[in-house]
Amino acid sequence: MKRLNKKTGIAIFTAVMAILAVIILVYHNPLANPQDELLKKVIACVLIVAAVIAFIRLYDKITVLPVELYQNRRLIWKLAKSDFKKRYAGSYMGAFWAMVQPVITVAMYWVVFVIIFPNRTGYASGGVEGVPYILFLTAGLVPWFYFSEALTSAMVSLLEYNYLVKKVVFKISILPIIKIIAATFIHAFFVLVLLIVAALNGYYPSLYTLQVFYYSFCMFVFVLALSYTTCSVVIFFRDLQSIVNIFLQVGMWATPVLWNINDFPMKLQMIVKINPLVYIVEGYRSAVYGKQWFWEDFYSTMYFWIITIGLFCIGALVYKRLKVHFADIM
């Protein structure tokens, strides 16, 4: 893949952002508060303008990563499978152990909220009457486990493969995505578990269920966007691993994984939805039992992708800036 001419690349990006801005301005939700809708449109357009300006000024630095990832796509897939196998090499049960802990966690919550406190069942239905709490819970935990596993493994990818970092000819930019793909293999198993739990509770796969692939892709890109910042910074600041682990513990409660966002006032919901993970977690629920297409939540979709692209650009800049010092520190 040859890099696009700079003028062509900037023209394409600007055109796409302009079309996006027009769609946002034209879109109208008759059920929304006019003032809230106007505020969302203003914020979205400001973010788009900022993105275009940043892209124009930093084009060369931002486009390096996407090009390298595409050029090495076959090697990435090969190393991801190898990493997955290596992680469980020497263990009789293999990848089974990677699945045990999350399954036990879900089972624990099921025992507490369904067996010990049966009145809780069906309470946190995410706006859909009669949805059992175990299904609501599993639909929230599955994407959270994916996020947690992918983020922590991608963050330490350069440290784990430090012998490759010192090789000049090896493109170390592919290491974080290798870890995320390896985590995706485990996630595929849990998506299957989620669908089984849904079927056992009377919610069978439908066309809406296909959106699980879309939301999994959203999580993949979001973690990738974060990982280039975390994997670069952790080399110089090892305490970041502990900080991220604390963030994951707190974040699980700050994100509507165990609780229903619809139980809170609209103003508080808007504050909570600043967290991009809310879009994905609620999206899994919509795909499994909510019967809602992702484009129906228009502003949340636009917000998520604008923030994710912004985070990826920041990650690309941080990685580019710190890369030259990696070999010296290691």
- Locate the domains of the chain by residue range: 1-57, 72-329
Say if residues 290 and 136 touch (Cβ distance below 8 Å).
no
Beta-carbon contacts of residue 327 (< 8 Å; ≥ 6 apart): 165, 166
CA 308 to chain CA mean position, Å? 9
pTM of the model: 0.84
Q: What is the C-alpha R_g of the chain?
A: 21
Extract the tokens encoding 105.
């966690």
Q: How far apart are CA 171 and CA 261, in angstroms?
A: 42
Extract the tokens encoding 249.
């513990």
Beta-carbon contacts of residue 236 (< 8 Å; ≥ 6 apart): 322, 325, 329
Report pLDDT for 126. Answer: 43
Which string of b and e fits 2-29 if b means at least 16 CB within 10 Å?
eeeeeeebbeebeeebeebbeebeeeee
- Please write the tens of the pLDDT for every residue from 242-288: 999 999 999 888 888 888 888 888 788 888 888 999 999 999 999 99
What are the C-alpha distances in Å from 69 to residues 84, 140, 308?
Answer: 19, 30, 17
- Please write the tens of the pLDDT for every residue from 17-60: 898 888 888 887 777 778 877 888 888 888 888 888 888 888 88
- First-to-final CA distance of the chain: 31
